[in-house]
């Protein structure tokens, strides 16, 4: 059954399908979903493909249940995933928090559309960036990747699974409608060339195992239901054993850990694409479909001799503060085109700390920037 999970070869598929294939290649064998434009195709692909590889596709009654189902599947020992878009992502928020608190690895693909509310069901948006970071109540660390092509939908979904297994938490694939519905060549490499992280399993005897005992900023290995280990899993504040302890001291340890495992490991998680940054006077910071347009703009201006660079965010969270901080001492301005009202621009501005100007080029959704527009704005700061 398993040989069909990695479809090695060249494919001409859209980003949604590539997310599904990435999940399968990463070992995902459980998908719970609910139809929503523009992410339905991820679920449709999974419904067809999972039975071929001995996995389970289940369509739940809503997104609340879908998120709950993948958390349960993960504790049952399989890699699990769901996909959704704006309104569904909102419904998932409570259970996403549960996943963060219970340190449950899983992947949530969000093919972003225009919001808020029903917004633009069929058109592009990138306005769930801050929701992904802060959407569920309370503090937790957030890991989110942002593919800019169907190929990256495949690659980064695998990365998302690897990160989720390593850091034991839900990881987001924040794609957008343009990338999700864009059809391009996707190369699926041979199985042995795909790095797939497997869940660390407890190596100690049963009596000594503590499911929530962190080692530095790393989570404990995860025993799954049926392994024979004592595991107590709760959304309440819990100690190393997983038992609820409602005190400030345990809350301090518990929440500090789920925040710091991302913060302290940020240097290992962050991935960016640096284009012509060395001598740049203006740097465009972009992600998702917008970064494709920005790259065009930067390359065109470089050909004309302008000192312009591009910092493409492959991971959105954690934010590459160190890189931006370093660049802030070098450049006159950061230009941030994004399809929202300045969510990443806020982060850039904060990190730049007044040493370089931050210029937001915000679109509210439904359309993308043109390279010319970006060039015009960049030109004003050269």
Partner 1 sequence: MAEEKKKRILKPIKDFPLDEYIASGHRACQGCAEVLAVRHVLKAIGPDMVLAMATGCMEIISSPYPFTSWNVPWIHVAFENAAAVGSGVEAGLKALRRKGRIPDKNVTVVAMGGDGGTSDIGFQALSGMFERGHKMIYVCVDNEAYMNTGVQRSSSTPFGASTTTSPAGKARPSGQNTWKKDMTAIAAAHNIPYAATACPSYYSDLMRKVRRAAEVEGPAYLHVLSVCPTGWRVPPQTSIKYGALAVDSGVFPLYEVDHGVWKLSRKPKNLKPVTEYLKGQGRFRHLDEGMIALIQERVIANWERLLKLCEATGDKPAQSGSES
| Binding residue (CB under 8 A) for partner 1 from 87, 217, 362, 366 | 87
364 touches partner 1 (CB under 8 A)? no
Minimum CB distance to partner 1 smaller for 73 or for 275 = 73
Cα-trace Rg, the chain:
21
86-101 vs 248-263: helix crossing angle, rounded to 10: 120
Tell which positions 190-229 bind partner 1, by CB under 8 A.
Answer: none
48 touches partner 1 (CB under 8 A)? yes
- Which stretches within 55-134 are classed as H helix? 63-75, 86-101, 129-134
Smallest distance, partner 1 to C-beta of residue 48, A = 5
Could you check whether the bond before residue 8 is cis, i.e. omega within 30 degrees of 0?
A: no
Smallest distance, partner 1 to C-beta of residue 62, A = 4
Minimum CB distance to partner 1 smaller for 53 or for 224 = 53
**Interface map 99-118 toward partner 1 (x if CB under 8 A):** ------------------xx
Q: How many CA atoms lie within 13 A of 88 on its CB side?
A: 28
- Tokens (6 digits) for 313: 């965010």
Q: Which stretch binds partner 1 (CB under 8 A): 59-67, 214-222, 229-237, 373-381?
A: 59-67
Tell which positions 8-47 bind partner 1, by CB under 8 A.
Answer: 33-37, 40, 43-44, 47
End-to-end CA distance of the chain: 58
The Cβ of residue 40 has, within 10 Å, a number of other Cβ atoms equal to 18
Write out the H or E segment, with its range, that includes residue 309.
strand 308-313
Q: Is 104 helix (H, G, I), strand (E, B) or coil?
A: coil
Smallest distance, partner 1 to C-beta of residue 54, A = 8
φ, ψ of residue 378 in degrees (nearest 5): -60, -40
| Binding residue (CB under 8 A) for partner 1 from 2, 3, 12, 52 | 52
Q: Which stretch binds partner 1 (CB under 8 A): 19-27, 55-63, 127-135, 342-350?
A: 55-63
Minimum CB distance to partner 1 smaller for 45 or for 312 = 45
3-state helix, strand, coil in the chain (%, to 5): 40, 20, 35
| Binding residue (CB under 8 A) for partner 1 from 9, 51, 189, 353 | 51
Strand order of the sheet with strand 272-275?
272-275, 308-313, 282-286, 333-338, 357-362
Minimum CB distance to partner 1 smaller for 95 or for 375 = 95
Q: Which positions touch partner 1 (CB under 8 A)? A: 33-37, 40, 43-44, 47-48, 51-52, 57, 59-62, 87, 117-118
């Amino acid at each position: 059954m398993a040989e069909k999970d990695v479809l090695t070869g060249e494919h001409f598929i859209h980003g949604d399908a590539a997310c599904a294939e990435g999940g399968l290649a990463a070992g995902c064998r459980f998908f719970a979903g609910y139809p929503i434009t523009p992410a339905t195709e991820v679920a449709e692909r999974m419904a067809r493909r999972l039975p071929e590889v001995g996995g389970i596709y289940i369509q739940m009654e809503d997104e609340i249940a879908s998120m709950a189902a993948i958390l349960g599947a993960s504790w049952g020992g399989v890699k699990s995933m769901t996909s959704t878009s704006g309104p569904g992502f909102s419904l998932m928020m409570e259970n996403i928090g549960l996943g963060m608190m219970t340190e449950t690895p899983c992947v949530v693909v969000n093919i972003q559309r225009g919001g808020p509310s029903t917004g633009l069901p069929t058109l592009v948006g990138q306005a769930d960036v801050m929701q992904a970071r802060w959407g569920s109540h309370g503090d937790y660390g957030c890991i989110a990747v942002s593919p800019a092509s169907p190929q990256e939908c495949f690659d980064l979904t695998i990365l998302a699974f690897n990160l989720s297994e390593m850091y034991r938490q839900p990881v987001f694939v924040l794609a957008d409608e343009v990338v999700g519905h864009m059809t391009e060549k996707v190369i699926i490499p041979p199985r042995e060339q795909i790095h797939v992280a497997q869940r660390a399993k407890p190596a100690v005897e049963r009596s000594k195992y503590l499911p929530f005992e962190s080692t530095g900023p790393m989570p404990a290995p995860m025993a799954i239901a049926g392994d024979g280990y004592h595991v107590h899993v709760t959304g309440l504040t819990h100690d190393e054993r997983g038992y609820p302890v409602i005190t400030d001291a345990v809350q301090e340890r518990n929440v500090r850990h789920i925040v710091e495992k991302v913060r302290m490991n940020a240097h290992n998680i962050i991935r960016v694409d640096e284009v012509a940054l060395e001598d740049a006077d203006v740097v465009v910071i972009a992600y998702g479909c917008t970064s494709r347009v920005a790259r065009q703009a930067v390359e065109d201006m470089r050909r004309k001799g302008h000192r312009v660079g591009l910092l493409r965010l492959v991971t959105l969270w954690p934010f590459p503060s160190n890189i931006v901080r370093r660049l802030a001492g070098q450049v006159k301005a950061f230009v941030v085109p994004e399809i929202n009202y300045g969510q990443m621009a806020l982060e850039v501005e904060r990190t730049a700390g007044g040493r370089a100007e931050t210029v937001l080029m915000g679109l509210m959704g439904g359309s993308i920037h043109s390279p010319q527009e970006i060039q015009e704005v960049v030109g004003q700061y050269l």
